Structure 1
Amino acid sequence: MAKEQVKFYVTEDEKRRLEVLAKLRFMSVPTYAKVTALGVKIQQVKETFVEYKTMDERLLDGSETIVGDEDKQVLEEIINRSTKKGFIQYDASFNERLQEMAKRLLGQ
């Protein structure tokens, strides 16, 4: 199906109105003219506002913590097990606790 071009003339005032109406609906003027000419009803989107708190605000008011008590214990144990060379001394039980913490934090 071949596309055909349709031209029409408008005054400067009508052109400005078309530009404003098209911009309000996030469309180009030709697209807006085509859609309205075909009888498509365009509904204005209702604005919604969501209050957003930053991570710092949530931490300060106590509504969110970074890690739980169990996770804090594991992290403290990592610090305690650190050697002077920067390596961490592992054993089987510590490795299991570390894996459980990782699964919890990743939601697995």
Structure 2
Amino acid sequence: MKLSELKHEVWNDERTRDLRLRKEEVKILVDVIVDHIFIGLLKYGKVKLQSLFTLEIRKSKGRKIRNPQTKEHMYTDDYHRIGIVPSKKMKKALKNLK
């Protein structure tokens, strides 16, 4: 699901309809939530969305690589990546997906 599809699904949700929010307002709300997840991840290194998943920044070591033209061995720099840990509820739902 793309972000635009998510915005549309939130707008079509019955709970949003009860609040009588316009589609533009829903789009702004979803954008703000996504931005704050991103900011929280950079600021704290970890964002936990209860009953969904936990996002965390993990540090990975650089690797040994070889230049194919000169056969020279080099090392890449250390880098950061995002890890995702699903909640128990999500794991259970994935098991029942079969």
**TM-score, normalised via structure 2 length:** 0.22
Q: When you count helix as a share of all residues, which structure comes out higher?
A: 1
**TM-score, normalised via structure 1 length:** 0.21
Which of the two has higher C-alpha Rg?
1
| Structure with more relative contact order (C-alpha pairs < 8 Å, separation 6 or more) | 2
